[in-house]
Amino acid sequence: ATGDAGLAVCLHALADYLAIHQGMGETAVFQRLLDIVVHLCRHYFEQYHEVVAPPALVNGRDLMQLLHVKPGPEIGRLLRLIEEAQAAGDIHTRDQALQFAQQSCS
């Protein structure tokens, strides 16, 4: 998940393509890139809380309790993995997030 940086990355990719090709270049390729950027920007503006910054399903305490571990980098790593899986639509519930965390530690 790129969070707020995703919008900047989309616009940078578009600007980079235009600079490299000194304009639109091959129309079909440019149109495909533009379609992707528009799609991602729509998600950013229209579904921000669902796609870009969904509410956390679990927190560090949940993971420490589940896995019987102390605070540390592993908890942060797991939280980032869960956030990415949630943004990708792979997990939707707290139970799924906890199961995902257990599987990620195995």
Q: Are residues 48 and 71 in the same domain?
A: no
pLDDT-derived band at 24 (thresholds 50, 70, 90) equals confident
Residues 65 and 47 in one domain: no
**Together in a domain, 66 and 40:** no
Residues 9, 46 within the same domain: yes
- pLDDT confidence of residue 89: 87
Residues 48 and 64 in one domain: no
pLDDT computed for residue 1 by the predictor? 56
Q: How far apart are CA 103 and CA 86, in angstroms?
A: 15
The CA-to-CA distance between both ends of the chain, in Å, stands at 23
Domain that holds residue 11: 5-52
User: Does residue 6 have a pLDDT over 90?
Assistant: no
pLDDT of residue 54: 83
Q: For residues 46 and 72, state if they share a domain.
A: no
Q: Are residues 101 and 79 in the same domain?
A: yes
The residues, ordered by sequence, that sit 6+ positions from 28 with a Cβ below 8 Å of its Cβ are none
Residue 75 near residue 60 (C-beta atoms within 8 A): yes
Indicate if 47 and 64 belong to the same structural domain.
Answer: no
Provide the number of structural domains found in the chain. 2
- The pLDDT tens digits of the residues spanning 55-71 come to 999 999 999 999 999 99
Residues 74, 100, single domain; the answer is yes
> In terms of pLDDT, which residue wins out, 20 or 3?
20
